[in-house]
Structure 1
Amino acid sequence: MSDTQFDKSWRKRTSKQELALWLGWLALVAFFVFCWEVMNKNTIWAFVSDAPRQAMDIGSRMVPPRWDYLPSLMEPLWDTIAIATLGTLMALFMAVPVAFMAARNTTPSTRFVRPIALLIIVSSRSINSLIWALLLVAIIGPGVMAGIVAIAFRSIGFVAKLLYEAIEEIDAVQVEAVSATGASKAQIMDYAVVPQILPAFAGITVFRWDINIRESTVLGLVGAGGLGLRLQESLNVLAWPQVTVIFILILITVLVSEWVSAKVRHAII
């Protein structure tokens, strides 16, 4: 056998793959240049260069915090926690049926019901909670109720997606064992499916509640109640020491919710 038959050296990619890779990088660079041009089109660079001075000026006005404003924030803080908690509970009632309809091993119909469930999940996840709040404030008026429903609509997709993935990953052997006893579909669901997804369901619930605490703090900026409403009021009158107190309270609230969420998830898992 001649040496010419071994002249071909090993290559990580074929010529077509190399060409596709370079075209991909070229498209990425072109997209970056396009985005840069769009950004520069309406950017006033004089304001950008002056931004550090403006930030220092506002920062100097934010200290010292106005601590006597703190007691008046207790009710909005309670509203924020209520928005996150009730919104999460409302989302669970709607997300659980959607998750079972979306999972391939529990859906009544993979051709008709499952696509509808997936559409609900995608629609919920693609619209931000602030946009939901804007729409709901216009429909049902400003206040806590709009915030609760906005949080719920935003959370449906998150909870349902993670839950239906957990349902699809259950151990089929347990389902087959319960089915072999002659159990009905409701009994199979009760004894074979639900026990396997309960830890995941609990973890998803607590995790989403933690996220909703953070999101509910800013819903008031569009009139949906909570701390965000007081933040908007303080910003409108340039009451920077009050803004500092609100920021500190939001930070403490988020840290506490994160701690609670971590402890509960650790206890469950």
Structure 2
Amino acid sequence: MAISTIDGQKVWQRRDRNTQLKIWALWMVGTAVFMWCWQQISAATTWPFFWDAPRIAADIGGRAVPPRWSYMDKLWEPLWDTLNIATLGTVMALMMAVPVAFMAARNTTPSALFVRPVALLIIVSSRSINSLIWALLLVKILGPGVFAGLIAISIRSIGFCAKLLYEAIEEIDETQVEAITATGASRWQVMAYGILPQIMPAFAGIAVFRWDINLRESTVLGLVGAGGIGLQLKGSLDTLAWPQVSLILLVILLAVVVSEWVSAKVRGAII
């Protein structure tokens, strides 16, 4: 905010001259960066395909309707595999994320100098790589199938769950911990009676939220051979069976909607 004078009278201005010049300079730099990025994207784009996209989309949409309802009999087992990948992957991730979270939290780590950096490295490493990339790598190591997808989901979820959980641990009420410690309780008793009861609501919410995310992610792991309904989607896409593709997409949409409803109900009951 600045005040300038005109004919000896003070006039209010929102910004002074230097601040306004800095803002204009930032806009100019931002515009230049945007134009450069647009040039790079434009050079790498095949524009005839882009302009022909509406016609192709309309043609595929016409071929995909109506869905092939008779194909539903072949989707129950892949859908069950997808649910198992999401559920078991979440459980495995939580089992590994809990000790990592306690090692990462400042108020529970055994060593802030040695143990905590290792725990934080595990969290960052897990979160930095997408589950689809984990699945692509694990399919090469373990072979195609549900097990590779299960491990990919669990590895990806460790960092997410551990990060939220260790933040919840650091935000606990220390007076309760001090009161239990004053009774002569051991370290494990303090953790069981002073820390765990305070973080259990957060833990339950994190578990349900991550399960909801994992169910969405597990639907596409089959595209790289990690099992589940995504494998049926890839097979249908490869054979240009568009009625099957539309049915699979409807099933995935319904599964995601149901999982969202379930997770919302569970989180509402917890909170």
Shift of 1:9: 7.6
Gaps of 5+ in 2: none
Choose from 222, 232, 239 the match for 1:220: 222
Paired position in structure 2 for 1:84: 86
Paired position in structure 2 for 1:162: 164
Distance in 2 (alpha carbons) for counterparts of 1:223 and 1:175: 48
Paired position in structure 2 for 1:118: 120
> Can you list the C-alpha shifts for 1:120-166, whole angstroms capped at 9, x where unaligned?
11111111110000000011110000000000111011101110111
Q: % of aligned pairs identical?
A: 68
TM-score, normalization by structure 1: 0.93
| 1:126 aligned partner, one-letter code | S
> Can you list the C-alpha shifts for 1:173-200, whole angstroms capped at 9, x where unaligned?
1111111111111111011100000000
Paired position in structure 2 for 1:41: 43
Distance in 2 (alpha carbons) for counterparts of 1:16 and 1:100: 49
Report SS of the residue matched to 1:105. coil
Report SS of the residue matched to 1:224. coil
Choose from 169, 181, 184 the match for 2:183: 181
Paired position in structure 1 for 2:150: 148
TM-score, normalization by structure 2: 0.92
Distance in 2 (alpha carbons) for counterparts of 1:30 and 1:99: 43
Shift of 1:10: 7.4
Paired position in structure 2 for 1:97: 99
| 2:107 aligned partner, one-letter code | N
Shift of 1:19: 5.3
Distance in 2 (alpha carbons) for counterparts of 1:96 and 1:20: 47
Distance in 2 (alpha carbons) for counterparts of 1:16 and 1:105: 46
Distance in 1 (alpha carbons) for counterparts of 2:197 and 2:156: 27
Gaps of 5+ in 1: none
Distance in 2 (alpha carbons) for counterparts of 1:16 and 1:98: 49
Distance in 2 (alpha carbons) for counterparts of 1:227 and 1:92: 24
Shift of 1:31: 2.3
Distance in 2 (alpha carbons) for counterparts of 1:80 and 1:191: 37
Distance in 1 (alpha carbons) for counterparts of 2:15 and 2:137: 50
Q: CA RMSD in A?
A: 1.9
> Can you list the C-alpha shifts for 1:6-58, whole angstroms capped at 9, x where unaligned?
99987766776555544443332232122211211111111111111110000
Aligned length: 265
Distance in 2 (alpha carbons) for counterparts of 1:22 and 1:191: 57
Report the more deviating stretch, 127-136 or 31-40: 31-40
